[in-house]
């Protein structure tokens, strides 16, 4: 029985190790987002960016205004005044106010709900995507993206970042020239450093919306570890006291 258990554990560890290269390759070539969902100030800044630049098209149908207030340390008045532009009630989910017919006319399809985007694509993808828009007159919306080529979405943060253009390398025969780097041709309201910080905050907020319970789980986890450490120490003292008489009798 013990041998079977050891074999099963070894097999599970082997499978986990075998999947590591595949998991690592998903984020290959992407800069680290460096998010921290425990940073409440970053979450608040990210929420402000989302509701000022993203909610016009994208919903968060699995997140309620009341939950945002609780998790981000904001009052009901602050949330309903600064985040609610649709007249929704405090206990209702965050739904975009863009009519479906307008979305299809402008983008060809409904913009996706972003509640679970961080779990679907990963925070590194979102962070790099937000930083990789560039002007492309050949595209219907006038924009393109090096992380997600031919995306139908324009740059929602262009006022902050500025206008970014692509520098192409030499094209191979019969192929399009690849984008070597992106350059700011017209500065925005933020410096590049400030903009990277802003997109990190926005990515952090989307990471939170993908799993709001993570905040509570992390805070509870600390107390669980402290409890287990204290219990282990008490059990050690109990074991030492119990076996003391046995050792002395020998």
Residue-wise pLDDT for 121-133, tens only, equals 999 999 999 999 9
Closest C-alpha among 101, 106, 166 to residue 138: 166
Pairwise pLDDT comparison (157 vs 140), residue with the higher score: 157
State the angle between helix axes of 40-53 and 65-72 in degrees (0 to 180), rounded to the nearest 10. 150
- For the segment 176-193, the average pLDDT, to the nearest whole number, is 94
Give the integer Cα–Cα distance in Å for 116 and 95. 14
Counted residue by residue, the chain has a size of: 250
Q: What is the pLDDT of residue 221?
A: 58
Give the rounded percent of residues in the chain with a pLDDT score beyond 90.
60
Q: What is the pTM of this model?
A: 0.76
- For the segment 85-96, the average pLDDT, to the nearest whole number, is 94
Calculate the CA 11 to chain-centre distance. Answer: 32
Q: Is the pLDDT of residue 224 over 80?
A: no
CA distances from 197 to 21, 53, 88, 191 (A): 29, 16, 30, 10
In sequence order, the 6+-apart residues with CB closer than 8 A to the CB of 207 are 35, 37, 118, 123
Q: What is the pLDDT of residue 2?
A: 41
Q: Do 137 and 41 contact (CB within 8 A), yes or no? A: no
Give the integer Cα–Cα distance in Å for 167 and 177. 9
Through-space distance between the first and last CA atoms of the chain, rounded to whole angstroms: 34
Helix (H) or strand (E) holding 245: helix 213-249
pLDDT confidence band for 74 (50 / 70 / 90)? very high
Q: What is the pLDDT of residue 248?
A: 63
Half-sphere exposure of 41 (CA within 13 A, CB side): 1
Give the integer Cα–Cα distance in Å for 82 and 241. 61
């Amino acid at each position: 029985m013990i041998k079977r258990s050891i074999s099963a554990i070894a097999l599970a560890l082997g499978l986990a190790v075998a999947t590591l290269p595949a998991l690592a390759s998903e984020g290959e070539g992407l800069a680290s987002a460096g998010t921290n969902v425990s940073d409440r100030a970053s979450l608040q800044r990210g929420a402000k960016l989302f509701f000022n630049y993203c909610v016009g098209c994208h919903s968060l149908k699995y997140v309620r205004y009341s939950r945002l207030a609780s998790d981000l340390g904001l009052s009901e008045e602050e949330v309903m005044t600064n985040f609610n532009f649709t007249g929704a009630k405090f206990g209702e989910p965050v739904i975009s106010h863009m009519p479906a017919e307008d979305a299809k006319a402008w983008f060809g399809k409904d913009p996706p709900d972003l509640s679970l985007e961080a779990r679907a694509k990963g925070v590194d993808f979102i962070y790099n995507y937000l930083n990789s828009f560039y002007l492309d007159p050949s595209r219907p919306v006038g924009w393109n993206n090096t992380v997600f080529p031919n995306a139908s979405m324009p740059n929602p943060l262009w006022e902050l970042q500025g206008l970014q253009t692509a520098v192409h390398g030499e094209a191979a025969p019969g192929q399009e020239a690849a984008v070597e780097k992106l350059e700011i041709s017209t500065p925005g309201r933020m410096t590049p450093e400030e903009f990277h910080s802003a997109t990190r905050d926005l990515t952090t907020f989307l990471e939170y919306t993908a799993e709001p319970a993570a905040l509570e789980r992390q805070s509870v986890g600390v107390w669980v570890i402290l409890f287990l450490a204290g219990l282990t120490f008490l059990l050690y003292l109990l074991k030492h006291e119990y076996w003391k008489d046995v050792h002395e009798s020998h």
